[in-house]
Amino acid sequence: METLSIRELQTREEIREAFPIMKQLRTHLDEPTYLDLVVDAQENDHYKMVAQIDEGEIVAVIGFKPMITLYYGRFIWVCDLVTDADKRSHGVGEQLLTYVQDWAKENKFESVALSSGLQRTDAHRFYEEKMDYDKVSYVFKLPL
């Protein structure tokens, strides 16, 4: 992968092109639901979607949004991070997460946070050992 570039996805067509990669993480979503959720999040929640592109093909995607809470203060929440299964362990996820960390610093945010499913042990190792993130809490969810 020598021709990597990072680009924010803004149009509906750009977002649609990222669906095959995002589907590897968000397996429960179909394309119309995915498109509606991303567009709604962009319009109403300041969500940004950024892709790593290799020779014209999207190989990884990260979605994030700025937030403010009393616990974290002003921070960036990483909602989604996925690298194509065939491209993992080549530094692509690291580059996207570093992009978000740099974006956060440039925009005067205090930290970057994310959650990761309990079963995703490889991802946890990546966040803790490679990216130096601390495990600080559990996330709880109640379906309504």
Contact 41, 65 (CB under 8 A): yes
Higher confidence at residue 4 or residue 126? 126
Stated pTM of the model: 0.90
Tell me whether residue 71 is in a domain: yes
Domain around 48:
4-130
Contact 112, 96 (CB under 8 A): no
Tell me whether residue 143 is in a domain: no
Tell me whether residue 51 is in a domain: yes
Tell me whether residue 135 is in a domain: no
Tell me whether residue 139 is in a domain: no
Q: What's the pLDDT tens digit per position in 45-78?
A: 999 999 999 989 999 999 999 999 999 999 999 9
- CATH at 32: 3.40.630.30
Q: What's the pLDDT tens digit per position in 120-136?
A: 888 888 899 989 999 99
Tell me whether residue 138 is in a domain: no
Tell me whether residue 35 is in a domain: yes
